[in-house]
Amino acid sequence: MDHFLYKDGVLHAEDVPVAEIAAAVGTPFYVYSTATLERHFRLFDEALAGMDHLVCYAMKAASNVAILKTLARLGAGMDVVSGGEYMRAKAAGVPGERIVFSGVGKTRDEMRLALTGGIRQFNVESEPEMEVLSAVAVELGVVAPITVRVNPDVDAKTHAKIATGKSENKFGIPIARAREVYQLAADLPGLEAIGIDVHIGSQLTELEPFRLAYQKVAELTETLRADGHDIRRLDLGGGLGIPYTRGNEAPPLPTEYGALVRETLGHLGCEIEIEPGRLIAGNAGLMVSEVIYVKSGEGRDFLILDGAMNDLIRPAMYDAWHDIVPVIEPEAGAEQQPYDIVGPVCESGDTFAKQRMMPRLSAGDLVAFRSAGAYGAVMSSEYNTRPLIPEVLVNGHDFAVIRARPTFDEMINRDTIPEWL
Ligand SMILES: *Cc1c(COP(=O)(O)O)cnc(C)c1O
């Protein structure tokens, strides 16, 4: 559920007409709904009620500091995957004890940053990483709390580029080797293993892969405890999918997910952490774009938009589907026609949708890409020297630009010219 609805024939973000934002900031832009972000965070928080838990928002999904602040004030923790994300979490006022550091390639500098600034735990992914982290912690005179990310070898049944829990993926250590790896952690002076971490992929639309993974984590918890390790925290990763098309798709609800967590892991008395990203931010954001031209090709019509693959790369990268809707509500029963919906970038991959049925549109009309809040703005680039598009946050009747569109000068002046030129 989200807060982007037609009211009086115009698409609104909460109580603000989307066309009003377009007039104020220009197109294309991203717009996020505070009420939707808050609702999705609370769904997870409530789904785990009764268990000692922390919902750590996977901020790589949408990392604007204003979004982080919106969630942090509800008590969210943050899951970060880089030093830059760690600094963003800090800038949003999130205390170190609510920040979890994930990722397969943490550098010494990133470890130092987190160990000095405060960290809840590192989710480590390999033995070489453990040895480096231990050495960095010893240098600083501290002990780093860790979980080891185990790879349970389950099929998340999602797009290959976002599946992470199969043995052929680069993530985690094979669960069969967990006992020796925890032994290594116990032997390293700078580490304290406090729990287990697992994250099997993104955009999961069934609970079964989670069940298989969490059952393996439950077994491993008992095995490691029998080996003498004090396993008291389980980080279960993120990955719950969202409906990208209205209607037929119905991924499991956070309440069902919460019930599964209770059923598979509740008896262990561990503190539970989860790291949802997409389900918190995905349906909380739109990308809004204007039709530049309607071009008639051989047997097909193209809608050429001012938004492009550099602004929203998911269709090009993951063959992702986004519902694309006109900002002015079509009349009931309005005639539809198929369009190829494309951006202006010089690549055929700059195609958002092929033969998409849409009401008839003209140059100057606005369209909104739904479910664009996660892995949208954060994955954008300045390819073709197109400025990063603005981000806007709506809260009831209010809206504010939370990242402004850079000027051409700002973009170009980041380049510096060597003295010999
Ligand atoms: C990407 C990622 C997440 C979030 O995944 P979503 O599908 O956005 O919920 C959580 N944890 C880790 C370790 C990740 O890499």
CB 261 within 8 A of CB 41: no
Is 239 marked within a binding site? yes
Average pLDDT of 155-159?
86
Residue 97 predicted with pLDDT over 90: yes
Residue 343 predicted with pLDDT over 80: yes
- In angstroms, rounded to a whole number, what is the distance separating the alpha carbons of residues 147 and 379? 28
Nearest to 172 by CA among 218, 126, 111: 126
Is 314 marked within a binding site? yes
Percent of the chain scoring above 90 in pLDDT: 92
**Most informative mutation of 202, 240, 314 for ligand 1 (most atoms within 8 A of CB):** 202
Question: Reduced to 3 states, what is the DSSP secondary structure of residue 94?
Answer: coil
Instruction: Output the CA 390–ligand 1 centroid distance in Å.
Output: 24
Average pLDDT of 241-254?
84
Average pLDDT of 185-212?
97
Give me the domains of the chain, ranges plus CATH numbers: 4-31+282-412 (2.40.37.10), 34-280 (3.20.20.10)
Is 39 marked within a binding site? no
pLDDT interval class at 165 (50, 70, 90): confident
**Most informative mutation of 37, 59, 60, 121 for ligand 1 (most atoms within 8 A of CB):** 60
Percent of the chain scoring above 70 in pLDDT: 99
Is 418 marked within a binding site? no
The closest-lying atom of ligand 1 relative to the alpha carbon of residue 103 is 13
Which range among 34-38, 157-161, 308-312, 361-365 shows the weakest confidence by mean pLDDT? 157-161
The closest-lying atom of ligand 1 relative to the alpha carbon of residue 277 is 8
What pLDDT score does 277 carry? 98
- In angstroms, rounded to a whole number, what is the distance separating the alpha carbons of residues 143 and 115? 9
Instruction: Output the CA 242–ligand 1 centroid distance in Å.
Output: 13
Residue 153 predicted with pLDDT over 70: yes
Instruction: Output the CA 166–ligand 1 centroid distance in Å.
Output: 15
CA distances from residue 420 to 323, 412, 413, 415, 416 in whole angstroms, order as listed: 51, 19, 18, 15, 12
What pLDDT score does 8 carry? 95
What pLDDT score does 202 carry? 93
What pLDDT score does 363 carry? 98
CB 164 within 8 A of CB 240: no
Is 252 marked within a binding site? no
Instruction: Output the CA 104–ligand 1 centroid distance in Å.
Output: 13
pLDDT interval class at 156 (50, 70, 90): confident
- What residue ranges line ligand 1, CB within 6 angstroms? 58, 60-61, 79, 102, 199, 202, 237-239, 275-279, 374
Instruction: Output the CA 349–ligand 1 centroid distance in Å.
Output: 26
What pLDDT score does 248 carry? 63
The closest-lying atom of ligand 1 relative to the alpha carbon of residue 278 is 8
Instruction: Output the CA 178–ligand 1 centroid distance in Å.
Output: 21
| Residue 196: both structure tokens together | 């287990």
| Residue 148: both structure tokens together | 């080891």
pLDDT interval class at 247 (50, 70, 90): low
Which range among 32-46, 247-261, 298-312 shows the weakest confidence by mean pLDDT? 247-261
Cβ partners under 8 Å of residue 125, min gap 6: 103, 104, 148, 149, 171, 172, 173
Residue 1 predicted with pLDDT over 80: no
Which range among 237-251, 278-292, 406-420 shows the weakest confidence by mean pLDDT? 237-251
What pLDDT score does 170 carry? 85
Residue 115 predicted with pLDDT over 70: yes
**Most informative mutation of 41, 82, 147, 199 for ligand 1 (most atoms within 8 A of CB):** 199
DSSP letter at 121 equals E
Nearest to 304 by CA among 241, 381, 361: 361
Q: How many distinct helices (H) and strands (E) make up the chain?
A: 12, 21
Which range among 40-49, 110-119, 159-168 shows the weakest confidence by mean pLDDT? 159-168
The closest-lying atom of ligand 1 relative to the alpha carbon of residue 374 is 8
Average pLDDT over the chain, rounded to whole?
Answer: 96
The residue from 1, 49, 226, 346 that is catalytic is: 346
346 assigned to active site:
yes
Is 278 marked within a binding site? yes
